[in-house]
A = this chain, B = another copy of it.
Amino acid sequence: MKIVVFGGDGFCGWPTSLHLSAQGHDVLIVDNLARRYTDVELEISSLTPIAPISTRLEAWEQISGRSVKYLNFDVAKEYYRIESLFKEFAPDAVVHFAEQRAAPYSMKSERHKRYTVDNNVAATHNILCGIVESGLDIHVVHLGTMGVYGYGGGAAIPEGYLRVEILTADGRRIPREILHPADPGSIYHMTKTLDQLLFFYYNKNDGVRVTDLHQGVVWGTNTKETKSDPRLINRFDYDGDYGTVLNRFLMQAAIEYPLTVHGKGGQTRAFIHIQDTVRCIELALFNPPERNDRVQIFNQMTETHRVSELAELVAKLTGAKIEHLPNPRKEAADNDLVVEAKSLVELGLKPTRLEKGLLEEVIEIAKRYADRCDRRRIPCTSKWRSDIDLSARPGGSSGLPDRTLASEATT
């Protein structure tokens, strides 16, 4: 299969590209290195020493005998390069990771809000537009987020579509299956709800085939391929903007910093290991929706945990202390989270369990590279809301049952 990976140098994109190449696919990465520039902006760097993209690609060719192509351009700003690429490479599918993916980063300032919206919307739209112009039947596999569902408690989160009965003014009931109402908790999450409408429209009007994978919080660092040579190592982010909750706990434990839990840690989140992420992408690529199907939506997560349970687990493994800090987000202190996520397991996913893999992460990554950690970068400094007093406001106005933010790319 010929596959373009947009955003193929990032945390999910790089291991996905290698995994697909290892399976014998013809992989072409497009990446403008935005995530590396953000490291410069935020004065942070991956805990793991990641190699430049050219070194990565050379190393992969030496190790595997396979070549991964690479183009550096901005998917959001250089539309015509997408058109030429589709014309010349004629991919069967694209994997779309070319979005700003951190909720706290998206909330840092008006500039970060606008960058996240402008970049993410234009990237998705340009890819869809390019597919229509190409005249090719290119399947889009997109990384969404569980955060599109937002509040909704009381009922398990379905895979994308919700069964309802519409109550009409004249007293009738009309049964329907609708796209789950959107209820994003940050600008970043909002862009993924905008993506959903772009997919809905291009699928309906132009017949573009789309699989949208609503992913939970990713943990872990390496996959089989990224482990095979030090030059192929994947990113590990532990900072307040890009570090996911579990990575921050592991890092904090490794440097004997207390594990910082926002609020009482009653928030439940959905998790998935990076090895399972790359496998899910592969499963999605091999199981496109039929030609006239609606957008296919899978929930890409394997287990749920309360943040406080995770902290206790890491504390038990490492002897670290736990510290509770005020929560900057507008969310309930506690929430249950039940997610329907059968589809990918039915297609063949065999989940990596958190308890099994965690110790390896502590030893192989967090402790091994602890001397590269900049302690000042651990706290999250994003101001989530303006100073407007929302105290009188009920918990969200989506009309859905009250439940806290289901999941986030980063916590």
Which residues from chain A sit less than 8 Å from chain B, CB to CB? Answer: 79, 83, 110, 113-114, 117-118, 121-122, 125-126, 129-130, 132-133, 135, 137, 154-156, 158, 161-170, 172-179, 181-187, 190, 193-194, 197-198, 200-201, 203-207, 291-295, 330, 340, 384-390, 392-394, 396-401
Contact = CB atoms under 8 A, between A and B. Distances in A.
Contacts of A398: 178-179, 200, 204
Contacts of A113: 125, 129
Given A197-B182, A399-B176, A114 B118 contact: no
A110 B125 CA distance: 10
Contact of A205 (B117, B130, B385): B385
Nearest to A117: B125
Given A158-B169, A176-B401, A197-B197, 14 more contacts: A79-B114, A83-B110, A114-B125, A117-B122, A156-B168, A178-B399, A182-B197, A184-B197, A186-B205, A193-B197, A204-B396, A291-B392, A292-B392, A293-B397
A297 to B, nearest CB: 12
Contacts of A177: 399
B126 A121 contact: no
A132 B184 contact: no
A154 B384 CA distance: 42
A207 B388 CA distance: 7
A174 B154 contact: yes
A201 B181 contact: no
B135 A207 contact: no
A164 B161 contact: no
A295 B396 CA distance: 12
Given A392-B291, A401-B176, A167 B166 contact: no
